[in-house]
Structure 1
Amino acid sequence: MRATGVGSMPGHGNGHSDYAEACRVVLGELTDLPHLPELPARGAIANMTGRALAVLDGLDADLQPAGWRLTGTSGSAGVDHRRARSLLAQDLDTVEELVQDSPLTSGGGAFKIQVAGPWTLAATVERPRGDKILADHGARRDLAQALAEGVRTHVRDVRRRLPGADTLVVQVDEPALSAVLAAQVPTASGFGKHRSIDLPEASQALEWVLGAIAEEGAIPWVHACAAGTPLDLLRKAGAKGLSVDLAQLTAADHDDLATALEAGDTVALGVAPALAPVGTELTDKTVTETVERWLDMLGLDAAYDIVLTPSCGLAGADWRWARTVLRILSESARHLGSD
């Protein structure tokens, strides 16, 4: 059993020093499956949307007062889109420098990167002429395909930098998917909601992205911590790992996760709070007991491919809690793995 983080880490916009510290924490505490840290406190170019736009292939964007907006095909990127791409490259430079003489360069290492999924992007990014990409079938298709091709290039770049990463996981973040399917995404005016997306179209866009990841030899996961996310749709679209928040799961979700584990897929289980708890103490023992109760409920044991994570990203936490929770999860994973 292993432990990893969801993606985001604390940071206050202090440039390279903050990012290097986040990398050291992740690499030091998550030795079995470290991940590429995200520090959204650095602004829109570093948040989930900005990071995903940085890897798009063939589509450019700029940052408006209302948020990110596509500007057209290559050659029309705004200054903030160029900054987002540059920042991602700098962050990868930092990781590459810090992992020298580790398994991530010499062989036998594992690493995870994250990217926002096509439906979360469609729900947060605007078309050139206004309103969300979600409102336009052709724009939705173009975005998903551009993301799929961009992720291919991103995976190749990470492999070049981390030649010892024999296992590379790409986590596709889809926190908005359940809202997209339930017609809960507001229109630009705020007075209406975008129509729901049919399940076949929702699946196809995910298939393009997850398929591109698999074709590059990486392992596609989907992270969706919102209640109401159809986990079976994610698996049918090609997800080989499901990252969820244990507290948000329904009875049907538990069944889907048991089916995934029995099929040899990975379940990344959010079992620790993203913020330091008040009035209670989290320990490796309490986390271990939580996982054991969940496995007992499913009638399974710890031999399956389960990865322990916080319930969500750690961007809102302080550095002390970020270190503490990752250390607790790693210790719990070792306990469970030795049973």
Structure 2
Amino acid sequence: MASGVGSLPGTDVQGAARAVRELYGDGGVPYLVELPARGPGADLIGRTAAQLTGLAVDLQPAGWRLTDGSGRDASRARAFLREDLDVLAEVYDGYAGSLKVQSCGPWTLVATLALPRGERVVSDPGAVRDVIQSLADTVAEHVAQVRRLVPGARVTVQWDEPGLPAVLAGRLPTVSGFGSLRAVDGNFARDGLTRVTETVAGQADSQVMHCCAADVPVPLVRQVDGLELALDTSLVRTAQWDGIAELVESGRRLWAGLVPTGSTARHPRDHVDPFVEQWHRVGLEPALLEQVVVTPACGLAGLSPADASRIGRLTVDAAHAIRDVVEQ
């Protein structure tokens, strides 16, 4: 099975949506496309923050912040998403199958979004709880809307958490730049992820946390019931594989970003073989490869449309190669 991360190059929503359905719609996991090249509000933080229930945001030179009233950039972000959903309804008319939507995860959101006075939301535990609850309610309603637009869809929610390792390690700088914010306790981080996943569980068929940074907190993901994991396999340290094996053996899927966006491979085996070798090295049964969803690594939005399409096709071919291993 194959899928994509979410972001793609260009500004043609209709063309991108049709290409994704054509590529992944036959047995894979197509997704609601994100086109950050459209500008502010199409980015990961702005796209999510502008939709937050009961909260207003605007865009400042330093980034997105909470405010008393939403600004023009937030209105544009909401317009982008309305356009994307209109296209989704058209392109997936009559579709029945898996469909993925993406949202900024709670910890990356509070690590990036600023309070009105300028410091990061993550520095204020009360504000953290408010933003996380709003995010949970917002995404639950978003998934419900997608279900109304595409009634035959089995919806997966992807929580994008590139900032989570820095939050846990205390590597976030203060606004002044002269210090770092205190690390977030692992239990508090788990509770935040649990809050959003439990709220959305009533609408989504499955949920996955995607982290394309190094030091993915695999044990933390395993503590959140049913949460699947998506990562860039080139960044996985040897010591992390035991935790990944436990996650897979618990019945959860692994979304493996094993196709580099800069790949020049002519055959998917160039990327599949090292992954399968590692799979066997940690003692995972070949049959469990059925729980692997192959994706590209992060970075497709920075490619040309032609190169992004080529990497997408290579990803589908890699998924077929893994299926051949299972069937041997």
How far residue 28 of structure 1 moved from its aligned partner, in angstroms, is 1.3
2:274 aligns to what? 290
- Write the distance in 1 (CA, Å) between the matches of 2:73 and 2:234: 36
Aligned to 2:250: 263
Cα distance change on mapping 1:238 and 1:58 into 2, 3 Å: farther
Distance 1:321 1:51, change over 3 A: same
Instruction: State the distance in 2 between where 1:71 and 1:147 align.
Output: 16
State whether residues 137 and 200 of structure 2, in contact with CA within 8 Å, keep that contact through their aligned partners in structure 1: no
Does structure 1 retain, via aligned residues, the 8 Å contact 2:272–2:318?
Answer: yes
Structure 1 consecutive aligned stretches of length 4 or more whose deviation exceeds 4 Å: none
Structure 2: how far apart are the matches of 1:210 and 1:282?
39
Match runs of 1:127-276 below 5 Å: 127-165=115-153, 167-274=154-261, 276=262
Q: Indicate the RMSD between aligned Cα atoms, in angstroms.
A: 1.5
CA contact (8 A) 1:7 1:313 kept: no
Which residue does the alignment assign to 2:49?
Answer: 53
Q: Is 1:122 the equivalent of 2:82?
A: no
SS at match of 2:115: coil
Q: Secondary structure of 1:45's match?
A: coil
What is the deviation of 1:7? 1.0
Report how far residue 35 of structure 1 moved.
1.0
- The Cα of 1:283 is off from its aligned counterpart by 2.1
**Does the residue aligned with 2:29 lie in a helix, a strand or coil?**
coil
Which residue identity is paired with 1:301? P
Deviation at 1:313, TM superposition (A): 3.7
Instruction: Give the superposition deviation at 1:237.
Output: 2.3
TM-score (normalizing by structure 2): 0.93
Structure 1 counterpart SS, 2:265: coil
CA offsets 1:241-288 (integer angstroms, 9 cap, x no match): 1001111112232111111111110100111112x34xx534223233
2:75: which partner in 1?
A: 82
1:146 and 1:238 map into 2 onto residues whose CA distance is 21
After superposition, the C-alpha distances for 1:278-334 in whole angstroms (9 at most, x for unaligned) are xx5342232332332232222221443100011114111111111111111112212
Q: Please state how far the C-alpha of 1:156 moved relative to its aligned partner.
A: 0.2
Whichever residue aligns with residue 183 of structure 1, its letter is G
Distance of 2:237 and 2:201 partners within structure 1: 29
Q: Indicate which of 51, 59, 62 corresponds to 1:63.
A: 59
**Which amino acid is 1:70 matched to?**
L
User: Could you say if the C-alpha distance between residues 313 and 213 of structure 1 is closer, same or farther in structure 2, counting changes exceeding 3 Å?
Assistant: farther
In structure 2, give the amino acid aligned to 1:314: L
Is 1:301 the counterpart of 2:301? The answer is: no
Tell me the residue number matched to 1:10.
9
> Is the Cα contact below 8 Å between 2:35 and 2:301 reproduced in 1?
yes
Contact 1:55/1:154 (<8 A) preserved: no
If the length of structure 1 is used for normalisation, what is the TM-score? 0.91
Unaligned runs of 5+ in 1: none
Q: Letter of the aligned partner of 1:164 in structure 2? A: G
**Distance in 1 between residues matched to 2:41 and 2:136, nearest whole Å:** 20
Whole-Å Cα distance in 2 between the matches of residues 65 and 194 of structure 1?
21
CA displacement at 1:94 relative to structure 2: 0.7
Structure 2 residue 33 is the aligned partner of structure 1 residue 37? yes
Instruction: Give the partner amino acid of 2:183.
Output: S
